Chains A and B, each alone.
Chain A
Amino acid sequence: MRKAYAGVPALDGVDLTLHGGTIHALMGENGAGKSTLIKLLAGVVPADDMVVERDGRAVSLTGPTDAHDHGFRFIHQELNIVPSLSVAENILLSHPFPRRFGLTVHWKRLRAGARDALGFLGADHIDPAAMAGSLGPGDRMLIKIAAALVTEDDGQAPCLYVLDEPTAALSGQESEMLFAVLARLKGQGAAILYVSHRMDEVMRICDEVTVLRDGKRVAHRAVRDTTKRTIIRDMTGRDVSDAYPPRTTPIRDTVVARVADLHSPHLSGIGFELRAGEILGVTGLAEAGQSALLGLFTGREKRRSGTLEALGQAAPKSPAQAWEAGIASIPRERRGDGLMLEMAIRSNVAVSHLNAYGFWASRTREASDTTEMGAKVRLKSSGPEQPVGQLSGGNQQKVVFARALLVQPNLLLLDEPTRGVDVGAKFDIYTLVRELSASGCAVILTSTDLPEVLGMCDRILVLNEGRQTHLLPRGTMGQAELLDTFYAKEAETT
């Protein structure tokens, strides 16, 4: 496979062999070419040069429907569902709907088909008649997966499933459901191409691993004969420890934020004090109120009772007030809520700092600030004028970080900051957070990635359906114990 964008090769002669009945991991840092490879296979982007054979016979892939006709199924990373349609319609969207008298939609059979697909996935709790938009991100991802599992009317099962970071939006429990389904599909003889940044998952469920770096295949190994360390070295081309950078400076005494007995539409019983330099982790099952908790500091989640004080002021009423008070935030959905994708890196970094420039805009100051912050976050780009949309996921996230760094915040809100970010960029981000914390900036970080929470945070606040159930100091528990607390309903204070 070969593909170049504007003369820059994204894929440079990559070979890939997928065997039925195996799960094949595709790994690589962001920008290594994984997404391009998937887009070529799906036929959504034309290849410069590509030969695809199935069972020895050449297959032509010139459009998305070709791939579908050949039995290739794709679960893309973005949550592309139609929120205003029902779950059942979303699941069967790429199939002809069952009809009554060849005219009207046979809703009963439509729902039954959707229910079968959900049942196969083990997601019986989702109602096929529900509006897709009313579901949380985890359930939405399950819908997408269910949609890929629907078999054709001719009974021919799909031969290849391609999953691009399917677990990024899933909770631990939901991920287990997915793994069980993958094992079943594998048993039926399907080939599975699995893209993930989560090393533990890959080691656990995959049989083979192909590693891409800078558009080239650098390794193809059997998972049982390799180690995490080897794969990371393949991906980065250097030895990177997958450990978290340790705390080297003490937490200061100054209290940056104080929350007491706070209740809001999505939260209850929230209370903690945050000191300068401290990193507070907020975790729990997916959608347990993590984003709402950060929203308290940006005016997006309205307080009903209780107190909240940040940086010596009452709770900000809008994101603008928060930024002015020195509270920077990095939203969870970086493409939807974080970035102006068609605009230059410079514009994206400077946007929160425009007040400081005064009335007149200065391209040169914006550019020099962007270059300086870009170096700090180790951004890989062709310069401050490059449109953000051309960057890889990890580098896009670094742009959002650069924006936050530029305002020199005293409190930084991070909503799943390493979601969909590769190992190398992850480590860069952890290092940055540590540096910020050392300079006295307090950090609140939400994450469903347990090793990350345990590795980075000084204290861990556990939410259960919006209720604060635990506030745990660092080093008191391992992953298993922390996971247990997610299911504990009664509040405990330690």
Chain B
Amino acid sequence: MMNTLRQSGTLLGFLAIVVFFAVQLPDTFLTARNLINITQQLSMLIVVASAMTIVMVMGDFDLSVGSVASLAGVVAAVMFAHDYPVWQGVLAALGMGLLAGLGNGVLVSYVGILPFVATLGTLTVFSGMAFVVSDGKTIYGKDIPAEFSGFARGGWAAEWLGQGMKIPNLTIAALLVLILVWVILEQTTFGRRLYAIGGNREAALLAGLRVKRLRLLAFGLTGLGAAGAGLMYAARVASANPTQGSGLMLDAIAAVFLGMTMSRHGEPRVLFTLVGVLMLGILDNGLTQMKVDSYIREILVGVIVILSVGVAVLTKRQR
């Protein structure tokens, strides 16, 4: 009973927020255009939060995702500026993200540094690297090829949603990543192993799992996801600067935590992470439309995260 309440509490809160904005903003909030707009705004966060879920399943963290996203955008942009073709720039950025993630994995898994400390360290390292690579400048304008930024503006025609409506490519990309992460975590034995590590790392090791290698791989995937989000960001704003991804990390972790309040035993599940992302995004969108000051928005978001996680912890203790 308590458990059901805990699981559905966050969902009810989510619905309450939607209803609140629907009433407050009757003309603009629940329109196809606005909702599609929200999914596009959130597409980067969906990707980063999904990737973050992979390491959080094992009880780990990656604080460096924001820096990796910035670095990926900058790396691609610098390559574009040097006239490399788009596919090479994208590949280099993704490869760099994978390497960065694997680097985190080595520190956490093989060296044995706590994830919080290790990725806090690499957060500044990758951030510094982004400044070095970009020379501290924003790369924009004709340096960014049209076919790269055009991807973010494009979409699939969806006339059934109304005249001239499109489902943005970024939204589709984010959904594809989400589905991929869902398949990895829920449908493969690899995902099963990650959940086992999260359940009890020592027991997983003694039961024959190659815990070190698995953690390394998981961090690698998270880095790859973060780089993907960085590319999406750069495409959307048709520019790259060394700090543009930095806001993603805290929101991603908050989204996973919100999602964890909805799962059966409080473990991260990527579909619940999506609900967490939507919750944060809708709050942001609605409050902006209501012209609420952005500082007040930050306070509200923080309070909501603490409130829902706090309620989840308290009800869990009750059992």
Contact = CB atoms under 8 A, between A and B. Distances in A.
Given A323-B208, A347-B192, A347-B196, A361 B203 contact: no
Contacts of B192: 347, 350-351, 354, 361
B207 A357 contact: no
A336 B200 CA distance: 8
A265 interface: no
B83 interface: no
Contact of A360 (B189, B204, B207, B210): B189
Interface string A452-463: 000000000000
Contact of B209 (A320, A342, A361): A320
Given A320-B210, A323-B207, A347-B195, A339 B189 contact: no
Which of B203, B204, B267 has the most A CB atoms < 10 Å from its CB?
B203
Size bin of chain A's contact surface: 20 to 34
Given A358-B189, A360-B188, A343 B206 contact: no
A324 B208 contact: yes
B205 interface: yes
A271 to B, nearest CB: 26
A78 B319 CA distance: 20
Contacts of B266: 342
A398 interface: no
A319 B209 CA distance: 8
Given A361-B189, A387-B265, A338 B196 contact: no
Contacts of A350: 192
A319 B195 CA distance: 18
A358 B189 CA distance: 7
Nearest to B201: A340
A322 to B, nearest CB: 7
A252 B265 CA distance: 46
B269 interface: no
Contact of A340 (B187, B199, B210): B199
For chain B, give the interface size range.
20 to 34
Interface in B172-203: 186-193, 195-196, 199-200, 202-203
A203 interface: no
A246 to B, nearest CB: 31
Contact of A337 (B188, B191, B206): B206
Contacts of A319: 205-208
Interface string A396-419: 000000010000000000000000
A361 B194 CA distance: 12
A352 B196 CA distance: 10
Contacts of B207: 319, 323, 338, 351-352, 403
Given A323-B207, A343-B265, A360-B188, A354 B199 contact: no
A355 B209 CA distance: 10
B189 A338 contact: no
Contacts of B203: 331, 336-340
Nearest to A403: B207
A85 interface: no
B181 to A, nearest CB: 15
B189 A359 contact: yes
Contact of B187 (A320, A360, A403): A360
Interface of A: 298, 318-320, 322-324, 329, 331, 336-343, 347, 350-352, 354-355, 357-361, 387, 403
Given A319-B207, A350-B192, 18 more contacts: A298-B206, A319-B205, A322-B208, A331-B203, A331-B206, A338-B207, A339-B200, A339-B203, A340-B196, A340-B200, A341-B199, A342-B267, A343-B265, A351-B192, A351-B196, A359-B188, A360-B187, A361-B186
17 contacts: A319-B206, A331-B206, A336-B200, A336-B202, A336-B203, A337-B200, A338-B207, A340-B203, A341-B200, A342-B199, A342-B267, A343-B265, A351-B208, A354-B192, A354-B209, A357-B189, A359-B188
- Smallest CB-CB A-B distances: 5 pairs: A340-B199, A323-B208, A354-B189, A342-B265, A340-B200
